[in-house]
Structure formats: structure tokens, C-alpha cells
Amino acid sequence: MRYLGLLAASFSLLFSLPAMAWNATGHRLIAAIAYDRLTPKARARVDALIRQHPDYEKIFLRDVSSTDPTVRARAAFIAAAVWPDQIKGDPRFYDETRSNASPTQLLPGFPDMARHTTWHYYDTPITPDGAEAEIQKPPHALSELNRIIPIIGTKADIPPTSASNPTYLLPWLEHIEGDVHQPLHCVSRFLKSMPKGDQGGNLVYIGTRNLHSLWDGAAGRDDSEAYAAKYIADATAANPPTRHNEKKPEKWIEEGYKIAISDVYTFGLETGTRDHPVALPSGYEANAAKVAQQRIAIAGYRLAAVLNEKLK
Ligand SMILES: [Zn+2]
């Protein structure tokens, strides 16, 4: 989800929920694909990290009825991937990007209580008509991935209150790595008619929803085990893992940028307002679902590759 500023945020409360990045389904699928590809050693280490998270019982295991430790560990890892979106609506946390932000009380086990809403995306500018672009300042998805990946496997004894605490950072790594495999988390399109950019498609109306939301939901909206099993079987069969072990966040985002141009902004230079929403070309949603299936599989493989390398 991207924050659109107060005005747009209050509109979105009136008319629709704001876009949430890959929705929970997308993040859960990516985490499941990754978890099932971890080496026994990396799996043991992520399990140990997740168990120390302050929200382990309260949130990660909230919907888990099984008492089998293996089932619980996998479920907690998968649930942790959604946590950075959940805290956007959690009153324990505050939105540090608001001009009137005041920090909420620091709770045990957390380095800070900020929602870090800007960590979810990196706005590579797309400027098809030569409009001037704004460059996003860090912290953003790229700066945070490049900060987190080198320290996720540290064996040093780091206090929970440190911003470099791997237990705190693991759900973030799972989540942001997933987000940047959604092409609209890698770009913002600037047009002369939209000089502030479209906020990753959040401002492009395509009927009752926006372009960002269409892509967030392109892997479906179903968190059942049965749906995940079928989706993962299909996605991994259609996109075999062999070629997908790129570990550089810059490359992940560059791919997202290219896909945004080839598969997302295929409707010309319309901005898509509420009164005049963009009419998408026929077959658009079917293609989005296909692209999403590929990105979900690749994101899962790459998350596993990073964790296997860093948590040896
Ligand atoms: Zn996100």
C-alpha cells in the first residue's frame, strides 16, 4: 500500500480501501514457495529468528490450530511476510511520514514503532512524454533491501532494540522482497498532465478501483491452504526455478520497471480519473494474472536463494 497523503487517504476511506501491495495472498504465496526451498540449516535459523519476534504468538500464530512444531514454524514464517502491511492499521504503531506524527510507546522487542510505509516501494521514474520526474529519497525499498540483506544472517548478539536486529528485519525482508516483484512497486509514471507522478498506479483509475490495486490482487484473493497449494503447483510448473537465482535488489527492481513498461502501462498516456477511468485493452487482466504468477514464483525462489546464502 502506498500513502497518498491525507486528502487522498480520507477519500479512500470514503470510497474504497487503499491498495495494499501484493495483497496478503500474494505475500503468503511467495513466503510459502521460499520456505519450502530453504536448506535445513537456513530453515532452522529462520524458525529461531521468527520465534523471538514480539508478535510471534499474538499475530503470526493467531490462526494456527496445529500443535505440530513443523507446521507452526512454516505458518509463522508465512504469516510474518504480511506483518509489514498489518502494522499500517495497528494502533501500537505510528505513521512517521505524517508531518504531525507523534511516536507511539516503544514496546519490548521492537527497535521502533514506526510503520515505515516508504520501505514498500522504489519509484523508478517512467517519463514517456518527457515530464520532469521526482526522485524518491531513502529510506525506500531499494535502500532497505540493501541494508537488510547483508545483516540478516549476522550471528553477533544484537539486542532486540537495535535497528539491525535480524528478528525484527526478517518479516521486512520477506515482505519488501515480495513487494518489488510487483511491477507497480518499482515505478511511478510522470506525465505532463500528472507532474507529481501516479504513485505506482494508485492514482490511475480503471473503473471502481485503481491500477495498483488490480496488480496487487493479480495473484488472487484467497488465503486457504487449498488455493495456495494449487497456485504454487501451477506457478512453479509454469516457471521452473533453474534460471531464477538473481540476488541483487537493483536487478529485481530493474525487471519490475521493464515489466511496468511492457505489461502494465499498455493503455497509452491516459491518466485515468474518477470521471474518466482508463478503459483497459481486452485481455489485460488475464495477462496481469499470468505476469503475477511468474513474479510470485520468481520472488519465492529468490527469497529462498538469499536466505540460503545468508543463513548458512
Ligand atoms: Zn508492502
Tens digits of residue pLDDT in 272-308: 888 999 999 999 999 999 999 999 999 999 999 999 9
The average pLDDT across 157-162 equals 90
Instruction: Examine the pLDDT at 251 and tell me if it is beyond 50.
Output: yes
Instruction: Examine the pLDDT at 148 and tell me if it is beyond 60.
Output: yes
Supply the pLDDT for residue 5: 44
Supply the pLDDT for residue 21: 63
Percent of the chain with pLDDT over 90: 87
Cα(115) to ligand 1 centroid in Å equals: 11
pLDDT digits (tens, 9 = 90+) for 111-135: 999 999 999 999 999 999 999 999 9
Neighbours of ion ligand 1 (CB under 5 A): 21, 120, 179
Cβ atoms within 10 Å of 286's Cβ, excluding its own:
10
Instruction: Examine the pLDDT at 269 and tell me if it is beyond 50.
Output: yes
Cα(288) to ligand 1 centroid in Å equals: 18
Cα(87) to ligand 1 centroid in Å equals: 11
Supply the pLDDT for residue 16: 38
> What are the residues facing 189 on neighbouring strands?
126
Q: What is the DSSP letter of 104?
A: P
Average pLDDT, the chain: 92
Cα(173) to ligand 1 centroid in Å equals: 11
Give the position of cell 502501462.
265
Instruction: Examine the pLDDT at 3 and tell me if it is beyond 70.
Output: no
Instruction: Examine the pLDDT at 189 and tell me if it is beyond 90.
Output: yes
Cβ atoms within 10 Å of 77's Cβ, excluding its own:
24
266: cell is: 499498455
Cα separation values, 128 from 48, 190, 195, 223, 261, Å: 47, 8, 12, 37, 10
Cα(283) to ligand 1 centroid in Å equals: 26
Cα(98) to ligand 1 centroid in Å equals: 18
Q: What is the DSSP letter of 210?
A: B
Supply the pLDDT for residue 45: 97
Asked whether 16 and 133 are in contact (CB, 8 A), the reply is no
Supply the pLDDT for residue 12: 37
Instruction: Examine the pLDDT at 10 and tell me if it is beyond 70.
Output: no
Cα(22) to ligand 1 centroid in Å equals: 7
Cα(67) to ligand 1 centroid in Å equals: 30
Asked whether 125 and 137 are in contact (CB, 8 A), the reply is no
Task: Grade residue 14 by pLDDT with cuts at 50, 70 and 90.
Answer: very low
The average pLDDT across 54-68 equals 96
Cα(284) to ligand 1 centroid in Å equals: 23
Supply the pLDDT for residue 15: 37
Cα(114) to ligand 1 centroid in Å equals: 14
Instruction: Examine the pLDDT at 99 and tell me if it is beyond 70.
Output: yes
Cα(226) to ligand 1 centroid in Å equals: 24
Asked whether 244 and 301 are in contact (CB, 8 A), the reply is yes
Say which residues have a Cβ less than 8 Å from residue 77's Cβ, sequence separation at least 6. Answer: 31, 35, 46, 47, 50, 174
Give the SS3 label for residue 94. Answer: strand
Supply the pLDDT for residue 2: 54
Nearest CA among 184, 186, 101 for reference residue 140 = 186
Cα(20) to ligand 1 centroid in Å equals: 6
Distance (Å, whole) CA 39 – CA 20: 31
Nearest CA among 256, 231, 237 for reference residue 179 = 256
Task: Grade residue 6 by pLDDT with cuts at 50, 70 and 90.
Answer: very low
Torsion of CA 257, 259, 265, 269, to 10 degrees: 50
pLDDT digits (tens, 9 = 90+) for 209-240: 999 999 999 999 999 999 999 999 999 999 99
Instruction: Examine the pLDDT at 310 and tell me if it is beyond 90.
Output: yes
From the centroid of its chain, how far is CA 174?
8
